Amino acid sequence: MMQKVVICGVDTSGLPKLTAKENDELMKRLKEGDEVAREQFIVGNMRLVLSLVKRFWAKNANADDVFQAGCVGLIKAIDHFDLRFQVKFSTYAVPMILGEIKRYLRDGNSLRVARSIRDTAYKILKVRERLEERDEEATIEKIASEMQVCEREVVYALDAISDPVSLFEPVYNKSGDTLQLMDQLYDEGQSDEIWTEHVALREAMAHLGERERKILTLRYFEGKTQTEISAEVGISQAQVSRLEKNALCSIRAEIS
């Protein structure tokens, strides 16, 4: 029995379930211009939309919006369906409903991805599906070989269509203590140890004379040579070398 879920103001547990015969009869009537039959057919096939929408529950998208996109796909399928197709309506409608939902999710993505990259990514997904159907492990190497492209292109395309994740996304929650994704990020260049060393370095440089500080700044922060510094400061290169060495010795003694 379907769980009670309200989407777009619709109690999905109360949606009617049409038999194959009822579907066929309503389709014939709506194709003849019967608006009542059209409305009944749309409502009667919303269960189909709901079953497909459930696949996208984990996409962090608004359920109402995804359901509406699916209904747009359903209506497009109704408008384009031809009784001469000799196929079940659901068989024809499912790809159109999924296509409309995926289009909504893709176009609503905050990161814009080039169409060519998206096309490549979808081809990769199809190749991966074929490999899995053959009970083969769909590795990046196998996919690249099957498509005759480099592995880097496969990785790049798949990364491009991956959903962005917020740094504030909870990854653990127990007893009121929430661990967010950003709490697990670590930059070796910004560790507590490095930060402490930077503070100590700034304090040690503050104890140097103005000329020594300028020489070290030009030498190690701006990357200038001793010859360039000598021209800028107005002393010989030998003096620059001596002052630099003395300043470094003072700093080492200060922070050791």
The set of long-range contacts for 185-191, using a CB threshold of 8 Å and a minimum separation of 24, is none
> Both 218 and 237 in a single domain?
yes
pLDDT at position 161, please?
67
Let me know: does 18 contact 42? Beta carbons within 8 Å.
Answer: no
| Cα separation, 143 vs 126, whole angstroms | 10
CA dist 95 → 52, 54, 67 (Å): 10, 15, 15
| Cα separation, 66 vs 49, whole angstroms | 10
Q: Which of 107, 142, 170 is the last residue of a domain?
A: 107
Q: Tokens in use for 72? A: 């747009």
pLDDT at position 203, please?
81
Q: Which of 1-5, 118-122, 136-140 has the lowest mean pLDDT?
A: 1-5
Handedness of CA 93, 94, 96, 100 (dihedral sign): positive
Query: In the chain, what percentage of residues exceed pLDDT 90?
Result: 9
CATH number for the domain spanning 94: value is 1.20.120.1810
Quick one: DSSP state of residue 188?
G
Q: Tokens in use for 186? A: 């670590």
CATH number for the domain spanning 196: value is 1.10.10.10
Q: Which domain holds residue 199?
A: 189-255
Average pLDDT over residues 170-194: 59
Average pLDDT over residues 63-83: 87
Q: Which residues pair with 7 in a beta bridge?
A: 10
> Both 98 and 120 in a single domain?
no
pLDDT digits (tens, 9 = 90+) for 109-135: 555 666 777 778 878 888 888 888 888
- Domain tally for the chain? 3
- Number of neighbours of residue 241 by Cβ within 10 angstroms: 14
> Both 62 and 140 in a single domain?
no
